[in-house]
Amino acid sequence: MKFFIDTADLDEIREAMSWGVLSGVTTNPSLYARTGGKLADFEAHMAEICRVCEGLPVSAESQAKTTEGMVEDARRLAALAPNVVVKLPICEESLPATHQLASEGIRVNMTLVFSAPQALLAARAGARYVSPFVGRFDDIGDDGLAQLETVVRAVKNYSYGYWDGEGGPEIITASVRTPNHVTQAALMGADIATVPFAALRKCVRHPLTAEGRAKFDADWEKVSAGA
Ligand SMILES: O=P(O)(O)OC[C@H]1O[C@](O)(CO)[C@@H](O)[C@@H]1O
């Protein structure tokens, strides 16, 4: 499984990049809003993320509401850097946009996916990435991981002909909240988990690791004292 970081915060991205584990970045309008960024600076901010993560896919979301607007936005965003992936929400307008963009070699990450039929349609339209959400199902008392499993199993049953050479369409496990979401997504064979920085740090840490380190440190102190 590959790890993407789910944030628009450049400090978080730089730190996670320094760990050497990242394969990409996803952002969305809420994550950009959280940085305090202004509309006028949005494209420059995305270009900067692309520069920091050179060569890794960086998803930047379009807020256009029509097919034509989405295609226009996507072409403009894709021109910012070669590693831009355009994020579009699954809807009637985004399917033809995705189909058109795939024919131009522009990669789409189809977001706000909550069902297998949505995911299958996204893949069929030519999405390079399909992003089923997990945590938001849990938030409403549903089982996000069970929902993810239906998407993974359904999508992986077929090939779609657009991004085969790159191993696409890849499934990005989105709306990840916990290390267990990552574990279960990996066991299901989801290609990618996009993880917020705080959850990524939780994936690094474990109470038994902390306890083990403290014990080793204490024993090493004794060894050093006797030296
Ligand atoms: O439920 P959350 O934590 O807001 O996550 C929303 C998800 O939406 C996305 O935009 C999906 O692509 C990701 O950035 C994020 O994983």
pLDDT tens-digit profile of 112-163? Answer: 999 999 999 999 999 999 999 999 999 999 999 999 999 999 999 999 999 9
In one letter, which amino acid is 63? Q
pLDDT in tens, 81-125: 999 999 999 999 999 999 999 999 999 999 999 999 999 999 999
Residue nearest to atom 4 of ligand 1 (CA): 175
> pTM score, two decimals?
0.95
Is the CB of 75 inside a 6 Å radius of any atom of ligand 1? no
CA distances from 171 to 92, 119, 220 (A): 20, 9, 45
Q: Which CATH superfamily, name and number, covers 2-225?
A: Aldolase class I (3.20.20.70)
Residue nearest to atom 1 of ligand 1 (CA): 175
Is the CB of 201 inside a 6 Å radius of any atom of ligand 1? no
User: Where are the chain's structural domains?
Assistant: 2-225
Active-site positions read: 87
What are the φ/ψ torsions at residue 59 (nearest 5 degrees)? -85, 125
- 31 Cα nearest atom in ligand 1: 14
Specify the pLDDT at position 227.
Answer: 73
CA of 6 to the centre of ligand 1 (A): 7
